[in-house]
Homo-oligomer: A and B are copies of this chain.
Amino acid sequence: MRIIADLDVARSTILRRGGQPEDSEGGQAAREANRRVWREPLTIAEVVDRILRDVASEGDTALRRIAARVDGFQAEEFAVPVDIVGAARAAVPRKTVHALELAAERIRWFHERHVPRGWEIRDETGVYGQVVTPIERVGLLVPGGRATYPSTVLMLAIPARVCGCREVVVCSPPGPEGRPSPVILAAAAIAGVDRVFALGGAQAVAALAYGTASVPRVDKILGPGNAYVAEAKRRVFGTVGIDQIAGPTETLIIADDSPDPSIVAADVLAQAEHDPMAAAIVIALGENAAAAIAAAIATAIESAPRRSILEASLAHNGGVIVAPSIDVAMDLANAYAPEHLALLVRDPWRYVPLVRHAGGVFVGEPSIEAIGDYVAGPSHVMPTGGTARFSSPITCHDFVKITSLFAIAETGVARLGPAAADLARAEGLENHARAIEARDREKEHVGV
């Protein structure tokens, strides 16, 4: 495990993320992969363009053709029958069902506490405020493929239900049996999802954004996905609501010499095992801590499962950085704006107020990210790639929208009207000014 003692080197290597998948070497690899699937060396953007265009114009016909190409088989129908979703629990180990139920309860508990509420304020000019309403129909993307993530079903669908969304639809790619795995369906049943579709990738985004005969058009699409999903979400942004553009997962751990190095190493491996693009970075306070943690990682990796993923991830995006003080470490963390920030230091609460950009902060050694991923309560869908500078984890705010309330009173017309008319004229909008003054004239008529 590499140790980086020079902060400038750290900033210009692992803390400086790579480019976007579409403009990095990923581009060439994607072209090669697409040559096999599409018989042309298409870029990610070109594939997504084609999928969006075809699904918009041909609907299910295009979806079936694309599924045959990408998934390698011809789907008969994308909708998973409701009785199959309902029966899925029985096909999953009881222990897993109970764990899903505990997770669901915790996620519900946390999200019920922050459902945005409308409010009003009154003064002598009228009543103003915000009316909060649920987004009616949401489409949730649940990755499949190499792994299945029932936890993501809960993290997206439960907040939607808590916020009162009328219809909650999940798209998840089909496994070998032609539909998402039973554990995904069980999670959907536990979360109260209305409909599940065996669809993934950019084609799921296209179907949800435009609607087809079998897949309903939704108002907002949420959830993670690969580079194709990210590009498709970017393209349909504005046509439909989009939560955020997800990239590879990241964890930045700040550790002093208080935690057992093997604990830090375990957290690093838990992060790195996600996929070869995942980033697991430690900022150690002092050279001794750094050396001990690096050694513990090297030891742990020897007997760890998923070793080739761990090695790829750590070689490309991982490392132990030596920082001279926690202030420097916090500055580096804020500049990086990680998805997950773990504070494995003495007196960790002292540093929470210094966190300026992070998806989630894990305070102290018992606050294990791997527990937060499943059952703590807050969502595990968090901003990646430095987007924590401007975006948030999935919260209830993602499932509602606001209507501004203007109830200007007669007294408000008198008090505010002249200034509004002045500004309208300063902007060259004479008819605005006249609309205001028409009320004043009317009042004169009726003698108010």
| Closest B residue to A383 using CB positions | B401
Cβ of A154 to closest chain B Cβ, rounded Å: 9
Known: A358-B403, A371-B412, A408-B366. A269 touches B431 (CB 8 A): yes
CB distance from A316 to the nearest CB of B (A): 17
| Selected contact of A395 from candidates B151, B374, B402, CB within 8 Å | B402
- For the complex, is A135 an interface residue (Cβ under 8 Å from B)? yes
For A92, the chain B residues whose CB sits under 8 A away are 426
A191 within 8 A of partner (CB)? no
A103 touches B404 (CB 8 A): no
Partner of A372, one of B239, B408, B430: B408
Find chain B residues with CB under 8 A from A341 CB. 403
B422 contacts A95, C-beta separation under 8 Å: yes
Q: Which residues of chain A from 334 to 380 have a CB within 8 Å of any chain B CB? A: 341, 349, 352, 355-379
Contact assessment for B147 and A375 in the assembled complex, using a CB-CB cutoff below 8 Å: no
Neighbouring B residues of A113 by C-beta, 8 Å: 119, 121
Contact A423 to B103, CB < 8 A, known contacts A135-B390, A389-B136, A406-B361 = yes
| Complex interface: stretch among A58-66, A80-88, A283-291, A303-311 | A303-311
A75–B217 Cα distance when bound, in Å, is 46
A306 to chain B, nearest CB (A): 6
Q: Does A248 make an interface contact (CB < 8 A)? A: no
Q: A149: which of B123, B310, B427 is its contact (CB, 8 Å)?
A: B427
* Number of chain A residues close to chain B: CB under 8 A: 135
Interface 9-mer from A1-9, A197-205, A432-440:
A432-440
A323 interfacial contact with B, CB 8 Å = no
A267: shortest Cβ distance to chain B, in Å? Answer: 5
**Binary interface encoding of chain A residues 10-21 relative to chain B, with 1 for a CB under 8 A from any of its CBs, else 0:** 000000000010
**Is the beta-carbon distance between A431 and B310 smaller than 8 angstroms?**
yes
Query: Provided the pairs A245-B237, A426-B99 are in contact, do residues A361 and B435 lie with their beta carbons within 8 angstroms?
Result: no
Interface string of A33-74 (1 = CB under 8 A from B): 000000000000000000000000000000000000000000
Residues of B within 8 A of A395 (CB): 130, 402, 404
B406 touches A362 (CB 8 A): yes
Interface residue? A167 (CB, 8 A): no
| A199 and B98 alpha carbons, distance in the complex (Å) | 58
| A220 within 8 Å of B (CB atoms) | yes
Chain B residues, CB < 8 A from A304 = 430-431, 434
With A96-B423, A100-B423: A403-B359 Cβ-Cβ less than 8 Å: yes
CA distance in complex: A367, B272 (Å)? 57
The residues of B that contact A266 with a CB separation of less than 8 Å are: 431, 434-435, 438
Q: List 12 A-B contacts (CB under 8 A).
A: A219-B389, A263-B435, A267-B435, A269-B434, A270-B432, A304-B434, A349-B407, A366-B409, A367-B407, A370-B436, A383-B401, A393-B403
Going nearest first, the 3 A-B pairs with the smallest beta carbon separation are A241-B390, A238-B245, A392-B402
